[in-house]
Amino acid sequence: MNFLSAPWRWSFISKFSGEKKCIFCEALKLKDKDSLVCYRGENCFVILNKFPYNTGHIMVVPYEHVDSPDKIDYKISCEMWDLMNKSLKILKEKYKPDGFNIGMNIGKTAGAGVKDHFHIHIVPRWEGDANFMAVTGNTKVVSYEINNVYDILREEFNKG
């Protein structure tokens, strides 16, 4: 079995060990630009990942602080799915990725960095985006400046 190290994620994961505050609930208290919230819906919001696996890595998060999708109302599930699809459409149009990784990590053992507030990850992928830099150089290459990505995504999510 091969393993791919992602050492750039450790500063994010370790920052919250033992901490009681939820980064998603705290993000909602800040100005959207400061917290990278791209869109606020009725029951869910879309937030840009501050420590992305790749450019345009966003998450769809319910407002309700709950640890698993089986604990939310059907209406919230539908909105999350709709926002995931809208995210795909926007990312395809604006960044033209070759594919996507979409998923959830439910529980600490499953790899959840935020184990008490579940969310959907949407990670755009391009041919050749995983390379030697992260493995041998302990450096992750992200092609776009995060504030520019935020401005583009926010504008697209909030179009009428």
**What sign does the CA torsion over 108, 114, 118, 123 have?**
negative
Integer Cα distance of 31 and 24 in angstroms: 13
Tokens coding 3: 């393993």
CB within 8 A of 118, min separation 6: which ones? 62, 66, 67, 68, 69, 104, 106, 112
The phi, psi pair for 121, rounded to 5°, reads: -90, 135
Integer Cα distance of 46 and 89 in angstroms: 14
Tokens coding 149: 């990505």
Query: Is residue 119 annotated as a catalytic residue, yes or no?
Result: yes
Which of 57, 117, 119, 121 does the annotation list as catalytic? 119
- Taking residue 117's Cβ as centre, other Cβ atoms within 10 Å add up to 17
Residues designated as active site:
119
